[in-house]
Chains A and B, each alone.
Chain A
């Protein structure tokens, strides 16, 4: 389903199903964090737009269940941002208490968030220098192992 003006896609059917089965904030938080559409959203969305969308869907007097699920989804999307400091400040900027389990989800995130930094270092291969003027004799030993017989 598309939400917002800039064509943001989330898998609302899956998120509604998670919400319907959720009996604890922890369950809702963990299952929504595994939703691929929210993982993709966290990679691409502008944080300001995220807050705007959250406010648009949550600050209604009588909101349909879809808006509540979108609210939780956006809250969880904040926790999926690859920057703990930014996520913490966004969670303070929005009001998670507008959702019944919002504040509990924020607490779970804060208690479990340990920042990770990952580097990949590829060491360039340097072949050993061979002196072309020197002659070396090489010999190859081929070891033949007979196949097992019964």
Chain B
């Protein structure tokens, strides 16, 4: 059975060439902005997926990013286990537009099976009384 092991957003993802270890720098769980709309210049999504010996080695998944029902990304993603039982999929997004506060949700699916899903809460910073609008 194909199953998700980890799915998370991070500011930066590093895969060490010597050890093949994966490092997540600045794991993202919440964004607070003063103004909207805004753009996330760079954001990385990590999905670690596992399979059993009987599962196929190569899959085609669909990666979506949604913000309050508005689909920002809808991309086909090839997943190749290359004979192993675990694979890491790193997707770096540039220029993610955020129209307003809400829940930014990323989902990696294969057919009807969710291979990984995670979200970030996006909120606006409360204004201090008498603070001029920026």
Contacts and interface: CB of A to CB of B under 8 A. Distances in A.
Interface of A: 30, 33-34, 39, 80, 83-85, 88, 112-126, 128, 141, 143
15 contacts: A30-B18, A33-B17, A34-B17, A85-B82, A112-B20, A115-B81, A115-B84, A116-B15, A116-B87, A116-B90, A117-B87, A119-B77, A121-B75, A123-B73, A123-B97
Nearest to A84: B82
A117 B90 contact: yes
A113 B20 contact: yes
B18 A33 contact: yes
B90 A119 contact: yes
A31 B92 CA distance: 29
B67 to A, nearest CB: 12
Given A33-B18, A115-B82, A119-B92, 13 more contacts: A39-B17, A84-B84, A85-B82, A85-B83, A114-B86, A118-B15, A121-B91, A121-B92, A123-B93, A123-B94, A125-B95, A125-B97, A141-B132
Contact of B94 (A39, A88, A122): A122
A117 B80 contact: yes
Interface in B53-83: 72-73, 75, 77-83
A124 B86 CA distance: 32
B94 A116 contact: no
* Cβ-closest 9 pairs across A and B: A84-B82, A85-B82, A122-B94, A115-B82, A123-B95, A118-B90, A141-B132, A33-B18, A116-B88
Contacts of A113: 20, 84
Contacts of A112: 19-20
A128 B82 CA distance: 43
Contact of A120 (B19, B78, B92, B133): B92
B39 interface: yes
Contacts of B18: 30, 33-34
A115 B87 contact: yes
B32 interface: no
A112 B84 CA distance: 10
A34 B97 CA distance: 38
A37 to B, nearest CB: 14
Nearest to A119: B91
Contacts of B96: 123
A5 to B, nearest CB: 28
Contacts of B82: 83-85, 115
